[in-house]
Amino acid sequence: MDTMTSLSRAIYETILLAYPEAKDIPDAKGIRGFLEVPPNPEMGDYAFPCFRLSKVLHMGPPMIAKKLTETWEKGEIAAAEAAGGYLNFRLNRVNFAEKTLQAVLEAGSDFGRGDEGKGKTVCLDYSSINIAKRFHIGHLSTTMIGHSLKRIYDFLGYETVGINHLGDWGTQFGKMICAYKLWGDRESVEKGGVDELTRLYVRFHQEAEMNPELEDQGRAWFKKIEDGDEEALSIFKWFKELTLKDTARVYELLGVTFDSYAGESFYNDKMGRVLDELKEKQLLTVSEGASVVDLTDDGMPPCLILKKDGTTLYATRDLAAAIYRQDTYHFDRCLYVVAYQQDLHFRQVFRVLEKMGYAWAKNCVHVAFGMISYEGEALSTRKGNVVILEDLLNQAVEKALSIIQEKSPNLENKEEIARQVGIGAVVYADLSNSRIKDMDFRWDRALNFDGESGPYVQYTHARCCSLLRKAEAAGVVCDELHGEHLQDDEAQALLRLLSRFPDVIRDAADKYEPSMITRAVTDIAQAYNKFYYEHRILDGDAAAVKARVALTRAARDVIARGLYLIGIDAPEKM
């Protein structure tokens, strides 16, 4: 049992002892939820705010705190002290060290795993790239936040479905085919891939400015795709394959996978049902020739369902997609990891689903995130100021390699480790901010081996591994754990962070915030390094060595798991 749980139980038992007549006392689990960490460590390790009991006990918090302190008999867990309306606890360091280490080492890298999600399904819509465009860093956050959340939910026992809702529908594809027919040829598209498609698309816009008639041709080609014209469809399918081949390399580098690639075009034949239903439920109104769902009462502009020319829109496809996902996966929650600019779109779509009578609409969540800039510069596809993700990742690996060559010239397998470190640096940078904040990618920060960075945490993990190798070679076996050797401040600070790790994972899941895990592994790495510098892990008294090695192993296991949960590899040597 972890310390917070045993402390909560002890508090619960003490309340019962102090107030045997009282009713409606929160149980140990409820009490655990009330426990706080005092702002100042001088005050204690945990605090219980007694005002949580004043209602059921009809008494002021300071009175309760005083009475509970007098009744407290759980010295083996913690010492209790009343401070105003709070009951402050100072953990028994020996007991705390033993309990925490035992819990972590028993579970190993499964420490914190849970089954609270058993029987529940979470759909995650992430990455969701657009066809015929290069994968640029604007799509990094959705990819990595979604990937991390999927791992987090998996770890908590949920069934997860990762969906890449491809942007593979829209008039731009008609324009692209039109441009290809006019100025392109098979060979150069095969060779140039997405770059060649982009070139054709840009040319289309330039020429259309002088020759607006081209726009009609582009639309006509799109109509052909929609109507299932063989030539149009086969060209379009080919463009799509080219893009997916291009992006597969990026996903491979990042280690990101999906369970489904059902994108916008997948819903082409599934929108009729949505339209019929909207009509039947009398939700459609015509406004300037277009069909919309009025959302005035909700203080939102109307949700566009059909354009004047009868073609469907982004929102129409999202309605069909949500219904399809509910029918297919029976999700308990459907997460959309998409930039905050699409906030209105999702509020509209979710509201329309609600108006259609789908109670599950409240389980759809827009997991929004902020913008990314590069070395202080805003990025814009329109201005041609883009950073291609594959280039960035390759550059990161190269830079990591040259740092490693300098720092550890004798390391085996340098290329593979440089790959893990370079990619880890980029992913860490992306997931270190709380997701809604805008973030600026900077090389000096991402690859700073001494700062708060992916390489720093990875390096700490490798340091733990190396120590454990040495310990093993020296025949150290951690069979007995003597907490009295881990009473110092550094060990205790590290143990506290380790013991909280399971709660951090749950918080991260509840708030859809991988950055909480990034924070936790960074704190653990820093605490470990402090411990490492203050103590000679492998020297001295045999029992003390055992205890310190056990703590090292616990730190390594938790760091490895934490990195995994945010999608970063943990090399054993660096």
Residues that bind ligand ARG (CB under 6 A): 125, 128, 130, 165, 167, 318, 321, 336, 338
Distance CA 173, CA 179 (A): 10
Here the tokens at position 312 are: 């469907």
Contact present, 493 and 523 (Cβ < 8 Å): no
User: Minimum CB separation from ligand ARG for residue 345, in Å?
Assistant: 7
55 is catalytic: no
Q: Which residues contact 67 (CB under 8 A, 6 or more apart)?
A: 18, 19
What 3-state class would DSSP assign to 348?
A: helix
136 is catalytic: yes
What 3-state class would DSSP assign to 369?
A: strand
Q: Which residue is nearest to ligand ARG (CB)?
A: 167
Here the tokens at position 501 are: 């790790």
Distance CA 468, CA 460 (A): 12
Contact present, 36 and 47 (Cβ < 8 Å): yes
Nearer to ligand ARG, 86 or 350 (CB): 350
Asked whether the CA dihedral 562, 563, 564, 566 is positive or negative, the reply is positive
Nearer to ligand ARG, 344 or 474 (CB): 344
User: Minimum CB separation from ligand ARG for residue 353, in Å?
Assistant: 13
Nearer to ligand ARG, 367 or 418 (CB): 367
Cβ-count burial of 474 within 10 angstroms (0-12 exposed, 13-18 middle, 19+ buried)?
A: exposed
Nearer to ligand ARG, 128 or 265 (CB): 128
Instruction: Exactly one of 67, 99, 139, 485 is catalytic; name it.
Output: 139
User: Minimum CB separation from ligand ARG for residue 352, in Å?
Assistant: 14
Here the tokens at position 513 are: 């915030």
Burial 133-167 (b: 16+ CB within 10 A, else e): bbbbbbbbbbbbbbbbbbbbbbbbebbbbbbbbbb
User: Minimum CB separation from ligand ARG for residue 241, in Å?
Assistant: 18
Contact present, 122 and 160 (Cβ < 8 Å): yes
User: Minimum CB separation from ligand ARG for residue 128, in Å?
Assistant: 4
Distance CA 531, CA 550 (A): 13
Instruction: Exactly one of 67, 74, 136, 240 is catalytic; name it.
Output: 136
Instruction: Exactly one of 67, 74, 99, 133 is catalytic; name it.
Output: 133
Nearer to ligand ARG, 226 or 318 (CB): 318
User: Minimum CB separation from ligand ARG for residue 338, in Å?
Assistant: 4
362 is catalytic: no
Nearer to ligand ARG, 338 or 429 (CB): 338
- Supply the residues annotated as catalytic: 133, 136, 139
